[in-house]
Amino acid sequence: MEAADVAMTVQDSQLWREGGYHSFEDWLKKAAVRSRSWVYLALAARKELRDISDEDLRQIPLGNADILKMLPKAIRGSQELLEAARSTPPRTFISRAIAASAGSYLEKLVKRSFTSGQWEEIEARIELFRKATNEPTLGYAEALLGIVISWEQSMEQLARLRQ
């Protein structure tokens, strides 16, 4: 996660300009010590897991951080779960996370690929949903489910109006 901290500093402070790069993307391609996809995954985890101490995050493998960010804050902050995140590989940790978060929609964890631009749009909509529902700590899975349910309800209302 230290590489994510460096990337976040470079991005937020626009330090990539001082290195002569024309954009953050350019800096990622040419100077970052990790791949772009790894950096974006780490940045997303870092931003979502602000409730977890820097010391803990530095000890948690990225795969486990990616799993943690899908859990509700109340669950992911437990010391027992954080210890498991620090000490077990993701293939083992996912079972612990599922057991700790019954009903949090981790039961059938599915990975999807998005471009960085698509992911920025998705995150923006999640943030809007969090604000609209006054639920600033809502996890990604819950927010996306809420967005889908809201959309379905609006489509049902539209269909009734058209009848």
Name residues whose C-beta falls within 8 Å of residue 32's C-beta, 6 or more positions apart in sequence.
3, 7, 39
Q: Where are the domains of the chain?
A: 1-48, 51-110, 112-163
Distances from the Cα of 25 to the Cαs of 2, 22, 35, 37, in angstroms? 19, 8, 11, 11
Tokens for 126, please give them: 């999640």
Q: 72, 139 in Cβ contact below 8 A?
A: yes
Tokens for 37, please give them: 């996809």
Whether 10 has a pLDDT exceeding 70, the answer reads yes
Q: What is the pLDDT of residue 84?
A: 94
pLDDT digits (tens, 9 = 90+) for 89-113: 888 888 888 888 776 666 555 567 7
Q: What is the pLDDT of residue 82?
A: 94
- pTM of full prediction above 0.85: no
pLDDT digits (tens, 9 = 90+) for 108-158: 555 677 888 888 899 899 999 889 888 887 778 778 888 888 888 888 888
Tokens for 87, please give them: 């000490």
Q: What is the pLDDT of residue 62?
A: 85
Cα gap 43→79, rounded to integer Å: 23
